[in-house]
Amino acid sequence: MARVRLNNIEKFYGELHAVRGISLDIPEGEFTVIVGPSGCGKSTLLRALAGLEEIDAGTIEIGDEVVNDMAPRDRNIAMVFQNYALYPYMNVYDNIAFGLRARKFPSNEIETRVHQAADMLGITDQLDRLPRQLSGGQRQRVAIGRAIVRDARVFLFDEPLSNLDAKLREEMRVEIKRLHQDLGKTMVYVTHDQIEAMTLADRIVLLRNGKIEQEGAPLDMFERPVSRFVAGFLGSPSMNFIPARLAAENGQINVAFSDGLSLPMPSDRVSGLEPGREVVFGVRTEHITRDRGANGRAGLASLRVKIDLIQPTGTRTYATFQLAGEPVMAELEAHDVERPGEQLSLFFDMNRIVLIDPETDLVIQ
């Protein structure tokens, strides 16, 4: 287990500036997820940490060592790849044991480590099988097993679940989360999937165009995004965004929309808000609920809307309606709406909305 420090990392591919001055301090034992859209630099950063990419500037420290000039095998890291990278002619046991044999471990220690890893991952009965005889989930467990027998200082995961179907991804997320709890090792995990990031991470690092847009605990970033990009990237379905302006009416500040509708801001959230200012109103689907009459919670504002589209999931129903000409989705209870065309009164939780500057895309409130 080791602390990882990235100090002002720069990486160019010709004229492409892939990583732009990234600094990151990952404490011992933390599960850090680096997330972002395709091309943001997340896999490049992970490969640089592994020693598979040379950096153009900055330093990489693992433990108390600067490892810039250290070969990948000497960094004492273990990496799990997207494509499993298993040897097709070796059985599961030999695939897991391969790295230990290359490092001249005693055969009895190899056997102990392989069986411990296989038992932890639930693949003990697969040790004699070849990779082609395994499912995708089983192959990924073998790849993870090959990593954990190493007892490395740091574990790196490069989009390890992207080739699996939805059910297997869910199962493997649980396995990886449990693995971190059991091993307590420093883990750095790269993904483009914000659900994986939210469910796995102790800390999320969200990249955009080679830079860190925001980092922090998953719920902190979900509830307090610094920009429209962060607010829209984290959360599924994505946050609703509607152009609006701030208006002073009857001694209070309202969010006013172009269709004449408005929603009052809670009194404890009006400090610094200027009437007349253009904003982007952001609200998550789960913060729009059915208006069932009197409610003791302050900050709930009601609008009556016409439902255009419904998407039942069994436990919940996603209902879409128009606000200021923009489609807005609400996450309602299963039987709150039965068919398109219904008129509903909906509560907007104004305690949880965000207001965004349309020029800078930064959250102002």
Residue 352 has what pLDDT?
95
d(CA 271, CA 6): 38
What digits encode the pLDDT tens for the residues 299-316? 899 999 999 999 999 999
Task: Tell me which of 16-30, 135-149, 246-260 is least confident.
Answer: 135-149
- Kindly write down the DSSP assignment for every residue of 236-270, as one continuous string: SSPPEEEEEEEEEETTEEEEE-TTS-EEEPPGGG-
Strands 57-62, 186-191: pairing is unpaired
Matching residue, tokens 């097993």: 145
**What is the number of helices (H) and of strands (E) in the chain?**
8, 20
Q: What is the rounded average pLDDT of the residues 230-250? A: 94
Q: Judge whether 234 and 227 are in contact, CB under 8 Å.
A: no
Q: Judge whether 160 and 83 are in contact, CB under 8 Å.
A: no
* Phi, psi of 212, deg, nearest 5: -80, 115
Domains contained in the chain, CATH given:
4-225 (3.40.50.300), 240-356 (2.40.50.140)
Average pLDDT, the chain: 92
CA distances from 8 to 25, 30, 132 (A): 11, 21, 42
Assigned token pair, 243: 């152009």
Task: Tell me which of 35-39, 67-71, 132-136 is least confident.
Answer: 132-136
Angle between helices 92-102 and 136-148 (to 10 degrees): 20
Confidence of residue 295 (pLDDT cuts 50, 70, 90): low
Residue 183 has what pLDDT?
87
Residue 251 has what pLDDT?
80
d(CA 168, CA 147): 20
Which residues have C-beta within 8 Å of that of residue 325, sequence separation ≥ 6? Answer: 258, 259
Question: With pLDDT > 90 as the criterion, what percentage of the chain qualifies?
Answer: 69
Beta bridge partners of 328: 321
Three-state secondary structure call for residue 324: coil
Confidence of residue 296 (pLDDT cuts 50, 70, 90): low
- Kindly write down the DSSP assignment for every residue of 200-215, as one continuous string: H-SEEEEEETTEEEEE
The answer on pLDDT for 190 being more than 80 is yes
The answer on pLDDT for 142 being more than 80 is yes
Q: Judge whether 176 and 156 are in contact, CB under 8 Å.
A: no
Q: What is the dihedral of CA 286, 290, 295, 299, to 10 degrees?
A: 50
Question: With pLDDT > 70 as the criterion, what percentage of the chain qualifies?
Answer: 99
d(CA 148, CA 78): 7
Q: What is the rounded average pLDDT of the residues 229-250? A: 94
- Helix segments in the chain, DSSP class H: 42-50, 92-102, 107-121, 136-148, 166-183, 194-200, 218-223, 228-233
The answer on pLDDT for 32 being more than 90 is yes
Q: What is the rounded average pLDDT of the residues 224-230? A: 97
Assigned token pair, 21: 């001055």
Beta bridge partners of 346: 290, 303
The answer on pLDDT for 82 being more than 80 is no
- What is the 8-class DSSP label of residue 307? E
Matching residue, tokens 């082609």: 132
Three-state secondary structure call for residue 74: helix
Residue 294 has what pLDDT?
61
Q: Judge whether 190 and 42 are in contact, CB under 8 Å.
A: yes
